[in-house]
Chains A and B, each alone.
Chain A
Amino acid sequence: MSQPEPMLRVEELQVSVGDHLLAVRDVSFRIGRGESVGLVGESGSGKTITCRSVLGLLPGTGEVDHGSIRLGSGADEVELTRARRSTWNQIRGTRVAAVFQDPASYLNPSLTVGHQVDEVLRVRGGLGRRAARERTLELLVEVGLHDAERVYHCYPFELSGGMLQRVIIAIAISLNPELLIADEATTALDTVVQAEILELLQRLRRTHQLSLLLVTHDLAVVAETCDRVLVMYAGQIVESGPTAQVLGDPQHPYTQALMGVASIGDWSRRTLDTIPGQPPAAGEEMPGCRFAPRCRYAADECVQGPIQLRSVDAERASRCVRVAVPA
């Protein structure tokens, strides 16, 4: 299967926060054009900091120590780790856009929803008032708000969480970005709405040639939506590969453990699996594998030294010593 042309390349990214605590260690991945990639991890795994680095929205104490983030290719390529404010102002919205968890807090409660979508089109898109309004209505319909005229004049408090998230998505795609980052975008929504939003994202991917980076803690969401999956733990990527293969045959104990606790879709009564222990504290330094204390297969070699990411095959990698390195 030919790799789609890469439009985001993250290499050896290392990000520290606070007092030089490493939140993200040696993270590398690529996202191809039109691909959807899932980034899965518990809280504290570093997945949000990774997203924020790609968006240039690190907290005040955070900084990229090392590594590169390249957006686009060829003449359009931009190195994001060194980007200045003016570059970011150009890139955000037009090339990279994001949708976050609680839609209500990303909208101004005292302005109508239509006004806020217009705002983006007029300020960044350079459209005039009437043109912006028409485009807004089109966008609202496109994200599934069919009663666009009515919704246009609604204030955020008049709309449900699912509808607000659609509005945010409309804003995000309004300037036709290449990459959309959805950071726990459906976590706070009801099940049925969650499914609808995920379907919407898939549809937009096809119609807009959009690449999607879906960040979530729920493996089940990734299973249904993403072509490839990256599993993060304690600041590192511990496994990566095509979704079906990784979930069908996990090559890292943490992924296996996550599979055990994810929603299987089997409704029978059973004792639920758990993952014993706690993830390491942020920035905690450990001699070897960062999952070793919780891993049932942990052996001496696991704590000797830092574990590198090893290829399982052409498309898969795993950060575990038990993975046989292909000849």
Chain B
Amino acid sequence: MTAPDAPLLRVTDLSVSYAKPKQGTHLGTGAALHGATLEVRRGEIVGIVGETGSGKTTLARATVGLVAPAAGTIEFEGRDLGALRGRALREFRRRGQVQLVFQDPLRSLDPDLTVARLVAEPLDIAGGLSSRERTARVDESLREVGLDTAEVEGRRPRQLSGGQRQRVSLARAIVTRPALLFCDEPVSALDVSNRNLVLNLLDRLRRDLDLAVVVIAHDLSSLAGIADRVAVFYRSRLVEQGPTRDVLANPAHPYTALLTASAPSVERHHEIRPADVRLDAEPTEARAGWTVEGGCVFAARCRFAHEDCRVQPDLAALDGPTAREAACYVAGNWDAHLEQEIA
């Protein structure tokens, strides 16, 4: 048992290379991951944001064991998950303490099974509960996610709406009473008004079940309302991390600034425009080569890149009251550079 304020999940320096996929499994995103470090505590929602190919999905897949890490450790409740293999791994999975909710419920729910069977599957596999207990748990899960058991239990995924499918997917994930939940782009396929329904649901689940939730998203609006902390990934590297509001309102890393500036909003709260942070012209041959030679991953697009950036900066803590980190030599100071330029 871990101490109360010790992190539930601690990922340290995790690296995943473009290795050949584990036999027979999905090919995965193919993105590499370099030196990712992350901590998640119970009752917290951590957002992971990044473009396609940034490594955010790889991180989730590596944590649950779908992809073998090349380096680094993954500790859950103090226990090294990376070392689990074969039967031990299966035993761990059956306990259902760590769950992954896939991005597309149409693909991750067997189309031939009814909702009742789908949600009960983790319990059926694990065994140990009587049939009545299982039915009760399934009913409890469905109610928890806001679905009417009687109405949906006999239906198949195709007969549900998109939001309902997403909720069935969530119900399946919480039926084992997990401690940690990874949600891969839970709302990308939903309409704007219903996005918030599911996000509110995640927030409530976190409170009611004392879950730790990691939400992976490519757009900030999904995270802004509910995430306590956010980790920004770019091309396989973690570039910034910290409390959501601080990171998004005052980004320390130029990429985060680009992200926040690019996000469309109804009321213009941010004064920086994407063009201010982005390198508009095509990068020179030399600059494009910096990344390949071990330089900063963002160098090719960064307006503030300079000679130092030929070496990938490490994730370093920033000065200030809150726990923030960024991997940039001009972290937190680039807006001064910007003012200089404009001046």
Direct A–B contact in the complex, CB atoms closer than 8 angstroms? yes
Which residues of A are at the interface with B, using a C-beta cutoff of 8 A? 42-43, 146-147, 161, 190-196, 198-199, 217-221, 223-224, 247, 257-259, 261-275
- Assess the B264–A194 pair: CB atoms within 8 A: yes
- Assess the B264–A221 pair: CB atoms within 8 A: yes
Q: What size tier do the contact residues of chain B reach? A: 35 or more
Which B residues lie within 8 Å of A190 (CB)?
51-52, 218-219
Interface members, chain B 196-246 (any A CB < 8 Å): 196-197, 199-200, 203, 218-221, 224-228, 244-245
A317 to chain B, nearest CB (A): 20
- Assess the A270–B192 pair: CB atoms within 8 A: no
CA of A181 to CA of B337 in the docked complex: distance in angstroms? 39
A268-B245, A271-B200 given; 19 more Cβ-contact pairs under 8 Å: A195-B262, A195-B263, A196-B274, A223-B264, A224-B264, A224-B268, A262-B265, A263-B224, A263-B263, A263-B266, A264-B266, A265-B265, A265-B266, A265-B267, A265-B270, A266-B224, A267-B220, A272-B225, A272-B226
- With A269-B244, A274-B200 in contact, is A247–B193 under 8 Å at CB? no
Which A residues lie within 8 Å of B199 (CB)?
272
Which A residues lie within 8 Å of B261 (CB)?
195
- Interface assignment of B191: CB less than 8 Å from any CB of chain A: yes
- With A269-B228, A273-B196 in contact, is A218–B244 under 8 Å at CB? no
- Assess the B281–A267 pair: CB atoms within 8 A: no
Which B residues lie within 8 Å of A247 (CB)?
266
- Interface assignment of B282: CB less than 8 Å from any CB of chain A: yes
- Of the residues A43, A221, A224, A265, contact of B191 by C-beta under 8 Å: A43
Which B residues lie within 8 Å of A223 (CB)?
264-267
Q: Give me the 3 closest cross-chain CB pairs, A-B, nearest first.
A: A265-B265, A195-B262, A272-B196
- Assess the B52–A257 pair: CB atoms within 8 A: no
Which A residues lie within 8 Å of B274 (CB)?
192, 195-196, 199
CA of A287 to CA of B267 in the docked complex: distance in angstroms? 36
Which A residues lie within 8 Å of B282 (CB)?
146-147
CA of A270 to CA of B281 in the docked complex: distance in angstroms? 38
- With A191-B218, A217-B191 in contact, is A271–B225 under 8 Å at CB? yes
CA of A261 to CA of B244 in the docked complex: distance in angstroms? 19
A232 to chain B, nearest CB (A): 13
CB<8 Å pairs between A and B, sample of 24 = A191-B51, A191-B263, A192-B262, A195-B262, A195-B274, A220-B265, A223-B264, A224-B264, A247-B266, A257-B193, A259-B266, A263-B220, A263-B221, A264-B265, A264-B269, A265-B266, A267-B244, A267-B245, A268-B245, A269-B226, A269-B227, A272-B196, A272-B225, A274-B197
A76 to chain B, nearest CB (A): 34
- Assess the A191–B266 pair: CB atoms within 8 A: no
- With A267-B224, A269-B225 in contact, is A275–B263 under 8 Å at CB? no
- Of the residues B218, B244, B265, contact of A263 by C-beta under 8 Å: B265
Nearest B residue to A190 via CB reads: B51
